[in-house]
Structures are given as structure tokens and as C-alpha cells.
């Protein structure tokens, strides 16, 4: 009945153009399908619903539009005209909604498994070789990755703008890559276990505007570093196997990043923003209100996601990029990030050299209101999927981990339809950001609780007023049913903060019987989310 419907691709891009002259376009879904649209509208974003995008794509199909025109232009006295029109529109709308739901289900599956690679599969012999090198990576992995970064950045200094120089100095980057190689080799015949890690890395790559050609550079210097460190023990067979394994994974990541770029509303590179306002939130965190220089509306993001910010670092003589969580609800006119000024690494930390955070100090000390910086499209796999849910939610954060929680909190409190417990830990009350804002929300939202843990209470801090518990966050000090909503099997837990904090909260929640799928975590630092 619809001549060209089957030719419509799942990959078609949404085209925001007016309908050609003479064609009819309906923005109204038949009542019989409204329940599907209601379900679809439960996504938390300001963008058009997925079914609307598919509808726009479908009604731009010439043969389909001609068919709908013929139906709608039938003799008004024909008793079958109304029925035929409703059937036609209903069928097309159903098809559009099916496309939208199917597309979303495919996107969600990326959380659970690594996408397939189009590269040639590894042979059984190559898989066995990769497995056999696992102990080697465990012993020499960091030496290999250290040599890799040194050689690659010497030959390609332009890549210094992509990689975190501070993490090169303290060795975090090399250790993180070594851990990733070890995990990949250990799961070479079960890549589904790496799905969440691949999704996390691909989102970060997209936020840094990584391009497919850069994978060739990385592959070259990684294999050369293996040969340099391992010497004659790294045979041609081992290099061939690792070359095949590298490109199998690289192909997966290139394809996933291409899909992320395709969803970025055409914004696939750095975009200039003006710092419209700087607002101190605590003695170490300042909010930056960023407006696009081109004045075009900003695309929506999901609360919890981040952007990359790139600035010139005077002492390095090249730019550096960092990821900062968006700390407010999605808006079309500005983005807000809230940045902690990093005064320096603890010199007692293994391998650490004391120096201030390059980008955070440039933002705090050099960048002024009115200055311009480069910003990426929002990305990230830690986010609130919908603002329409009604089950309880617990937000657990420590330190600057409060920033994505503010975006989530500001979004869900607009609805006032779910129980919320905001739990935050800080060293001092002066270091705690958004104090007055959280207090106002607590007063305005009947079902919202706030609990503050304070590591170092000051002489003027009052228990029960400025904080509720001394020390770091300890869930055992809270009541399970009334504070953590443990009696509700649908309660969700969002956790963000330093590595140790993340691990402790995850373990504590699991002791209480909370399943993995209800614990959402965002790690601030190098590498991935800590899991045993």
C-alpha cells in the first residue's frame, strides 16, 4: 500500500526543512495511537520526539506523499474518504513510532554489549596469542604505554592538545591505557563484558572531536612500543595478532563515535562560546555561564552529561581540553559548568608531581567574563534518562561530584513527583557548593530530603543546621527505608565523586541488595568506572 516505505533507512537524518509546496503534513497523531506518543514523550529532552522526526522523514518521501495526497483529495462526498485518510495516517504514524522505538532500543543496547566490528575477525590462533600475552601485559603494560605516549607525542606534538598533560606527568594516563589493554586481552573472546567501558571511552573521544584517521597514528606507535619494550620476545606473530586485535577494537570505536557525531545536530568540532558570567559557588568552585558566539540555539542534553572545554595554557604553549559536567537544566541559550580550582596534586601520591590543574586554573585565574573558549557538543553515558519517572531517587556525591547532580536535581524538581534524597559530602562548609540553592529546593519540594556529611566541621558549624553527620559519607548512618528508600525495588541511585568514594558507595549499596542496573555512576578522573 505504501510503495516506497521499505526503502526508508533507519540511518536517515532528520531534515528540518519545510514541506514542499502542495504537500500535506500532519502534526497530529490519530487518537488510536496517542498512547504510544505519550510513552515516547517520556524522554527527558527538549528536542522533538523520535516519532516526530521519523514522521518528518517519512512524509518527505515523494511516493508516500503522493499517496496521502490522493487519499485526502478524494471526493468529500465519498463516505470512505475519512476512513481511508485515518487508516493511511495511522499506518504511517505507527511505522514512524516503530522506527523511533526500535532505534532507541538499538541505542540502549550499546550499554550492554560492544557493537560489532566490520574489520576481519581474529583467527583462533590470533585469539590464543592475545590470551597468552595477558601475563606480559600485567607485568610490562605500563612500560609499553609510557613508551607509546612518549614516542607518539614526540613525533606528533599536535596531539598534546588532545591528551591530558597532567596525566602524562603523573603517569595516570599510561596506567589507565595499560589497564584497558589488559582488560581487552583478558576479554578478547567475550567483548560484551567491555560494552560499558567502550561506551564511556567513545563518548569522551567524541567530546574531544577525535577523528578516525587518528586511530592510525595510535595503532602505529602502540605496536612499535610493544616491540621496543619486549624486544625479541615480541615476535612477528605477536605483532600481527595485536595489530588485528587493535583494529578490531578501533573499528568498533570508530563506528560508535561516527554514530555519536551523527546525533550531534551537525556540531562535530570545537565551537566558540563566550563566558557570559562567572559566579563563585564555594571557596573552590565557580560556575561559568557559556553562550555560543554564533547566537544559534543550543541542542538539548541529558542531565548528567558533560562538555569538553579547550583553552590555551600559557606555560605549555598549546591548548588543553578537560571535561566538565553541565550543572544546570538543559537550556537553548546557555550551558553552565561549575569548575573546581585544582591547587595541586598531593606530592605523597605514588608517582605524582605537585602542580596545579592546568585548565581549572586558567578558567579561574585568566579567563574573564566576555572571553571566548572552545566547547564541544555534550556527551556522556551518565545521565537521567527521563524526567517523567515517579519512583524514588537518591543522589550521592562527594566534592566536585556535586556538579552533574545539580543538573539532575534541577530537572527532577521541576516535576515535583518523586521522592528525592540529596546526600553530599564535603571537607568543609566553605567548600560546599550550591548551599543556598539546595536549601531553597528543600523548602519548596515536600518530598525532598537533604543530608550533609562534613569531614572537618569548623568551630562555627552547627550539627543539624550546617551538617548532619561528621566524617565522610557512611550509608550505615542512614535509615534504609526512610533515607535510602530500600523498601522500594525501583529506587535509583546516582553516584559521583572520587574513585575511592565511588567504590565504597557501590559496595555499600550492593550489601543492601541494590542491583547493578539501579546504580548509576560517574567517575571523575582518568580511566573508567571502578568495578571488581
**Which amino acids are annotated catalytic?**
215, 257
For cell 506523499, the residue is 65
Are 353 and 347 within 8 A, CB to CB?
yes
Q: Collect all residues with Cβ–Cβ distance below 8 Å to 520 and sequence separation of at least 6.
A: 304, 382, 492, 493, 494, 495
Determine whether 384 is exposed, middle or buried from the number of CB atoms within 10 Å of its CB (0-12, 13-18, 19+). Answer: buried
473 phi and psi angles, rounded to 5 deg: -60, 125
3-class SS of residue 105 = helix
CA distance linking residue 110 with residue 114, whole number of Å: 6
Q: State CA 500 to chain mean position distance.
A: 21
Are 317 and 396 within 8 A, CB to CB?
no
Partner residues linked to 285 by β-bridges: 340
Cβ of 208: how many Cβ atoms within 10 Å? 20
Q: What share of the chain is helix, strand, coil (3-state, %, to 5)?
A: 45, 15, 40
Write the DSSP assignment of 441-505 as a string of letters: HHHH-TTEEEEEEESS--TTPPBTTTBSEESS--GGGS-HHHHS-TT-TT-EEEEEE-HHHHHHH
Amino acid at each position: 500500500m505504501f510503495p516506497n516505505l521499505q526503502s526508508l533507512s533507519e540511518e536517515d537524518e532528520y531534515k528540518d526543512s519545510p514541506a514542499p509546496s502542495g504537500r500535506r503534513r500532519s502534526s497530529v497523531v490519530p487518537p488510536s495511537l496517542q498512547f504510544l506518543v505519550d510513552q515516547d514523550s517520556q524522554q527527558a529532552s527538549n528536542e522533538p520526539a523520535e516519532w516526530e522526526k521519523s514522521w518528518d522523514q517519512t512524509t518527505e518521501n515523494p511516493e508516500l506523499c503522493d499517496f496521502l495526497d490522493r487519499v485526502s483529495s478524494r471526493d468529500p462526498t465519498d463516505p470512505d474518504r475519512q476512513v481511508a485518510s485515518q487508516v493511511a495516517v495511522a499506518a504511517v504514524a505507527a511505522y514512524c513510532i516503530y522506527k523511533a522505538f526500535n532505534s532507541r532500543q538499538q541505542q540502549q543496547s550499546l550499554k550492554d554489549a560492544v557493537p560489532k566490528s566490520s574489520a576481519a575477525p581474529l583467527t583462533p590462533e590470533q585469539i590464543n596469542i592475545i590470551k597468552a600475552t595477558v601475563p606480559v601485559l600485567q607485568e610490562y603494560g605500563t612500560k609499553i604505554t609510557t613508551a607509546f605516549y612518549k614516542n607518539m607525542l614526540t613525533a606528533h606534538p599536535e596531539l598534546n592538545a588532545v591528551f591530558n598533560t597532567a596525566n602524562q606527568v603523573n603517569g595516570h594516563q599510561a596506567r589507565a591505557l595499560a589497564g584497558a589493554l589488559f582488560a581487552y586481552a583478558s576479554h578478547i573472546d567475550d567483548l560484551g563484558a567491555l560494552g560499558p567501558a567502550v561506551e564511556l571511552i567513545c563518548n569522551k573521544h567524541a567530546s574531544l572531536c577525535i577523528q578516525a584517521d587518528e586511530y592510525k597514528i595510535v595503532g602505529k606507535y602502540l605496536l612499535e612500543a610493544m616491540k621496543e619494550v619486549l624486544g625479541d620476545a615480541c615476535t612477528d606473530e605477536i605483532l600481527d595478532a595485536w595489530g588485528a586485535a587493535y583494529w578490531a577494537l578501533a573499528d568498533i570505536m570508530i563506528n560508535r563515535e561516527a554514530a555519536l557525531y551523527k546525533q550531534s545536530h551537525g556540531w562535530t568540532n570545537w565551537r566558540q562560546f563566550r563566558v557570559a558570567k562567572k559566579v563563585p559557588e564555594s571557596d573552590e568552585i565557580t560556575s561559568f555561564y557559556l553562550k555560543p558566539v554564533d547566537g544559534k540555539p543550543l541542542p538539548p542534553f541529558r542531565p548528567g552529561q558533560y562538555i569538553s572545554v579547550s583553552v590555551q595554557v600559557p606555560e605549555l604553549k598549546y591548548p588543553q581540553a578537560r571535561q566538565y559536567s553541565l550543572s544546570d537544566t538543559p537550556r537553548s541559550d546557555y550551558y553552565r559548568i561549575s569548575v573546581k580550582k585544582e591547587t595541586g596534586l598531593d606530592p605523597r601520591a605514588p608517582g605524582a608531581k605537585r602542580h596545579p590543574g592546568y585548565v581549572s586554573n586558567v578558567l579561574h585565574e585568566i579567563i574573564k567574563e566576555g572571553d571566548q573558549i572552545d566547547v564541544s557538543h555534550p556527551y556522556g553515558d551518565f545521565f537521567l534518562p527521563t524526567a517523567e519517572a515517579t519512583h524514588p531517587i537518591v543522589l550521592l556525591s562527594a566534592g566536585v561530584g556535586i556538579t552533574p547532580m545539580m543538573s539532575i536535581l534541577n530537572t527532577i524538581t521541576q516535576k515535583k513527583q518523586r521522592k528525592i534524597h540529596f546526600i553530599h559530602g564535603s571537607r568543609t562548609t566553605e567548600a560546599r557548593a550550591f548551599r543556598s540553592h539546595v536549601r531553597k529546593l528543600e523548602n519548596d519540594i515536600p518530598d525532598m530530603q537533604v543530608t550533609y556529611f562534613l569531614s572537618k566541621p569548623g568551630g562555627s558549624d552547627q550539627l543539624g543546621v550546617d551538617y548532619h553527620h561528621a566524617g565522610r559519607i557512611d550509608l550505615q548512618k542512614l535509615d534504609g527505608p526512610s533515607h535510602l528508600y530500600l523498601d522500594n525495588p525501583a529506587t535509583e541511585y546516582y553516584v559521583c565523586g572520587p574513585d575511592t568514594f565511588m567504590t565504597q558507595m557501590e559496595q555499600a549499596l550492593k550489601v543492601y541488595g541494590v542491583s547493578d542496573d539501579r546504580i548509576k555512576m560517574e567517575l571523575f578522573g582518568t580511566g573508567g568506572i571502578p568495578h571488581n
